[in-house]
Amino acid sequence: MKKVAIQGGGGSNHEIAAKAYFETDNIATVECNSFEELFSTLKEDHSIYGIIAIENTLVGSILQNYTLLKDSGMVIIGEYKLRIKHQLLALPGERLEDIREVHSHPMALAQCSDFFKQYPHIKMISRDDTALSGKWIRDNQLKGMAAIAPALAAEKYNLDIIAKDIETNKRNFTRFLIISHKEKIALEDILTQQPINKSSLVFALPHAEGSLSKVLSILAFYNINLSKIQSLPVVGSEWEYLFYIDLVFEDYKRYQQSLNAIRPLTRNLKSLGEYHVGKRSFDTVSNDNKPLSEQKTF
Amino acid sequence: MKKVAIQGGGGSNHEIAAKAYFETDNIATVECNSFEELFSTLKEDHSIYGIIAIENTLVGSILQNYTLLKDSGMVIIGEYKLRIKHQLLALPGERLEDIREVHSHPMALAQCSDFFKQYPHIKMISRDDTALSGKWIRDNQLKGMAAIAPALAAEKYNLDIIAKDIETNKRNFTRFLIISHKEKIALEDILTQQPINKSSLVFALPHAEGSLSKVLSILAFYNINLSKIQSLPVVGSEWEYLFYIDLVFEDYKRYQQSLNAIRPLTRNLKSLGEYHVGKRSFDTVSNDNKPLSEQKTF
């Protein structure tokens, strides 16, 4: 059975995304209290996969996870985009009017703020994890308390959903990366199962006119497309900007040649992983029911 | 006296940044409970300036504010980068060991999470604002409660700083934009006071190979530099990506010509404002004590 390290407890969005990516409920999750702990776990045991949230359509990139990934010995082996839905969970029998405190991850609290404007007397309490907030309510049989968590957590911890889909914005997708130790990839030869057609790069650029334009021109000449670009100022550094770029391509050899072509114009060019363009859960709100494998690029 | 709408209460980082930008303590702040309220306030009264956080070195862009700005009739007239320091405030005489609950904005709670790992019994409670959490403790004389807020809030609400500079990462800068109604700018002719050498653009690009590369090449041909670029997937849209770009230039006429040159290759190209490259508060941690007017570009 596959072992997958997830951030947060069982029933979290990380577990949902892991099962969707591996297309089976039959995985053994290793629960980690933080992303730092998740990376340490993978470092110690090369047989474990990991899954980390990397960006969200509402809040953008999770820059801390980019930093952790860049500095770890791990590589991206796949991706999955999950539509995020938040449920309000409480002990069986509780009603919304009984609730005095709601506990969840700060991101989940913020994403449901419109819902709670109707209930200004409910205290919003910040905790490390969505699903574990539910587990804590169950374990301690806490009346008057609710958690914001995925539906899977309600099932797992035998809680009632007392308010459904309470997220303010329904166009709320999180992109998860599936990561693994480099040596593990070589062992399992995952890469032969699906063609590699996507890559995530990080590099720095000198403070020079048109330095990014040159890099993107070369990638275009090699028919390499982009599906993401983000500059990041590096405070207190001589090299003022880092760039995170996702590339999409058909010809793997051309992609490798393009890296050789841009390397001399960049600094610390590093691949965070080469993988197959991922799938995503369907968005029941928009008409955009196409799978992500039809990746749009620029 | 200048009237400036700020998000949050008096003593917040928005007030600190506003005073620093206008180089005077002598401003009348208009306190708004949310960024939505701030934009409504400016729409109703054209004599008021506004200030909004737009990006942070740790968490990246505040995408919601980009959306609000893009859809409002407001334009950027300036920018200021502030080093963010978080203080723990409580009623005079309170000590850290008395504290059972800490209240603040979810971002501030998250940015001080390392500090509170030593005190797992302290509940972290999410509220709309940093400074107003302190005011609420003062108004209700709440013992055992603390707020994470700037030092200015301690002064304003007569609270003690019981733990100083508790932010996890000291390289924590927030970039604020000073905004105003378009008509106000014409009236006051602010633009003649300092040369315009920076501009923030938003545009969409078609799903076409190398479409971004073409736009950046043209900007480079016109000697226009970039200081920020971020792609943003638009869920459920035929036009899959929005781009937020900051440009830096010396020759205003050349900049205008470059916009005309890229317009036919983009869709919905819009300037969010043209302004003078901003200053920032000094970073006492790094050696990087240069003012931001020496803006680095790529």
- CATH code of residue A158: 3.40.190.10
Q: Quick one: pLDDT band at residue B33, thresholds 50, 70, 90? A: confident
d(CA A1, CA B2): 65
- For residue B184, what pLDDT is reported? 65
- For residue B279, what pLDDT is reported? 72
Instruction: Say if A65 falls within a structural domain.
Output: yes
- Does the beta carbon of B64 lie under 8 angstroms from any beta carbon of chain A? yes
> The domain spanning residue A213 has which CATH number?
3.30.70.260
pLDDT at residue B238 is higher than 80: no
pLDDT at residue A150 is higher than 90: yes
pLDDT at residue A244 is higher than 90: yes
Q: Quick one: pLDDT band at residue B290, thresholds 50, 70, 90? A: very low
Instruction: Say if A110 falls within a structural domain.
Output: yes
- Does the beta carbon of B61 lie under 8 angstroms from any beta carbon of chain A? yes
Q: Classify burial at B76, counting beta carbons within 10 Å of its beta carbon; exposed 0-12, middle 13-18, buried 19 or more.
A: buried
Tell whether A80 and A96 lie within a shared domain: no
Q: Quick one: pLDDT band at residue A73, thresholds 50, 70, 90? A: confident
Tell whether A154 and A176 lie within a shared domain: no
Q: Compute the residue count for chain A.
A: 298
Instruction: Say if A44 falls within a structural domain.
Output: yes
Q: Alpha helices, DSSP H only, in chain B?
A: 13-22, 35-44, 63-71, 106-111, 113-117, 130-139, 151-157, 182-188, 211-221, 252-262
- Does the beta carbon of B126 lie under 8 angstroms from any beta carbon of chain A? yes
Tell whether B79 and B112 lie within a shared domain: no
Tell whether B92 and B239 lie within a shared domain: no
Tell whether B132 and B151 lie within a shared domain: yes
Contact residues for A142 (Cβ-Cβ < 8 A; gap 6+) = A91, A136
pLDDT at residue B61 is higher than 80: yes
- Does the beta carbon of A295 lie under 8 angstroms from any beta carbon of chain B? no
Q: Are A213 and B217 in contact (CB under 8 A)?
A: yes
Q: Are A239 and A204 in contact (CB under 8 A)?
A: yes
d(CA A226, CA A297): 5
Which of A212, A239, A285 to mutate to test binding with chain B, by most B CBs within 10 Å of its CB?
Answer: A212
pLDDT tens digits, one per residue of B181-220? 876 665 555 545 678 999 999 999 987 889 999 999 999 9
Min Cα distance A213 → chain B (Å) is 5
Candidate list B174, B203, B249, B266, residue with the active-site label: B174
Give the chain B residue whose CA is nearest to the CA of A209.
B298
Residue A221 a catalytic site member: no
Please give the structure tokens belonging to residue A150.
């995925």
Instruction: Say if B282 falls within a structural domain.
Output: no
Q: Which residues of A touch B226 (CB under 8 A)?
A: 212, 231
Tell whether B77 and B95 lie within a shared domain: no
Average pLDDT of the residues in A222-245:
83
d(CA A9, CA B216): 44
d(CA B19, CA B23): 6
Contact residues for A32 (Cβ-Cβ < 8 A; gap 6+) = A5, A6, A7, A8, A38, A41
Tell whether B121 and B223 lie within a shared domain: no
User: Which of A:222-241 have CB within 8 Å of B?
Assistant: 223, 225-233, 235-237, 240-241
Residue A174 a catalytic site member: yes
Tell me which residue range forms the domain holding A271: 198-275
Tell whether B126 and B248 lie within a shared domain: no
From the list A110, A230, A240, which residue is nearest B231 (CB)?
A230
With a threshold of 0.90, tell me whether the complex ipTM lies above it: no
The pLDDT mean for chain B works out to 88
Min Cα distance A188 → chain B (Å) is 33
Number of structural domains (chain A) is: 3
Using the beta-carbon criterion (under 8 Å), do A125 and B126 form an inter-chain contact? Answer: yes
Candidate list A130, A174, A243, A266, residue with the active-site label: A174
- For residue A283, what pLDDT is reported? 45
pLDDT tens digits, one per residue of B126-183? 887 899 999 999 999 999 999 999 999 999 999 999 999 999 888 888 999 999 987 6
Tell whether B243 and B116 lie within a shared domain: no
A199/B63: higher pLDDT: A199
- For residue A56, what pLDDT is reported? 85
d(CA B102, CA A9): 24
Q: How many CB pairs below 8 A link A and B?
A: 150
Instruction: Say if A282 falls within a structural domain.
Output: no
Using the beta-carbon criterion (under 8 Å), do A205 and B298 form an inter-chain contact? Answer: yes
From the list B126, B171, B296, which residue is nearest A240 (CB)?
B296
- For residue B255, what pLDDT is reported? 97
% of chain A exceeding 70 in pLDDT: 89
Instruction: Say if B127 falls within a structural domain.
Output: yes
Q: What are phi and psi of A288, to 5 degrees?
A: -85, 65
Instruction: Say if B293 falls within a structural domain.
Output: no
Average pLDDT of the residues in B1-9:
91
Q: Quick one: pLDDT band at residue B287, thresholds 50, 70, 90? A: very low
Q: Which of B231, B261, B260 is nearest to A225 (CA)?
A: B231
**Tokens 């007017």, located at residue:** B293
Tell whether A8 and A78 lie within a shared domain: yes
| A65-79, A143-157, A192-206, A278-292: least confident range | A278-292
What is the β-pairing status of strands A160-163 and A87-90? Answer: antiparallel
Q: Which of A176, A143, A137, A175 is nearest to A156 (CA)?
A: A137
- For residue A127, what pLDDT is reported? 84
Using the beta-carbon criterion (under 8 Å), do B60 and A230 form an inter-chain contact? Answer: yes
Instruction: Say if B267 falls within a structural domain.
Output: yes
pLDDT at residue A190 is higher than 90: no
Give the chain B residue whose CA is nearest to the CA of A64.
B58
Q: Report chain B's C-alpha Rg in angstroms.
A: 21
d(CA B63, CA B216): 22
Using the beta-carbon criterion (under 8 Å), do A217 and B217 form an inter-chain contact? Answer: yes
How far CA B262 is from CA of A231, B211, B216, B221, B254, in Å, comes to 20, 11, 9, 11, 12
d(CA A52, CA A13): 10
From the list B107, B240, B296, which residue is nearest A207 (CB)?
B296
Tell whether A260 and A125 lie within a shared domain: no
Tell whether A119 and A151 lie within a shared domain: yes
Q: Alpha helices, DSSP H only, in B23-104?
A: 35-44, 63-71
